[in-house]
Amino acid sequence: LPLGGIARLAVEVLDALSAAHGKGIVHRDLKPDNIFVTPSGRPKVLDFGIAKLSDLGAGSATKTGSLLGTPHYMSPEQAAGRTVDHRADVYAMGVILFEAMTGQKPFLAESLFDLLRKHVEVPPPPPRSLRPDLPVELESVIVMALAKAPEHRFASAQAMSVALQHATSQLGA
């Protein structure tokens, strides 16, 4: 897909996530299989099967020690079995954008343990090393979404959506 088309779809998914997060719902298993694009070209976020209502006061969506989600798209805190919040979905969107823009997932491993360890400890390769025509601003959005520490990611899906729109405003749809 052209970069502008991917970005447009991602913005709409981020807006849907923002609405869910606003209701205190964290998806926790966001991945390409859970994003359906309708014949008219609109994405729909599916399968909130492991979604959890967060305690808006505490910001916790999953109890510590539980491991739920799809390993390739898990945030470092999910991979480590720690408490997650809406920023786990932001991380998953970073993985999805990385994959959509470069054609490969940021982390590959032969075992589940090694894959989860990479999410927790290893920085992703620079997206432009895999796709040199990727605009620097767009790479920055992906890299920030993939920050290991939740507090270094976008504060919300809406903030990521705004940054993505700004980074891709010169690209065609």
Q: Which two tokens stand for residue 130?
A: 């895999």
Q: What is the pLDDT of residues 34-62, one digit of tens each?
A: 899 999 889 988 876 554 555 444 344 44
DSSP letters for 97-142: HHHHHHSS-S---SSHHHHHHHHHHPPPPPHHHH-TTS-HHHHHHH
* 29, 47, 85, 114: the active-site residue: 29
Cα–Cα distance measured from residue 171 to residue 46, given in angstroms and rounded to the nearest whole number: 27
Give the mean pLDDT of the chain.
87
Q: What is the pTM of this model?
A: 0.87
Tell me, yes or no, if 133 is annotated catalytic.
no
Q: What is the pLDDT of residues 97-132, one digit of tens each?
A: 999 999 999 999 999 999 999 999 999 999 999 999
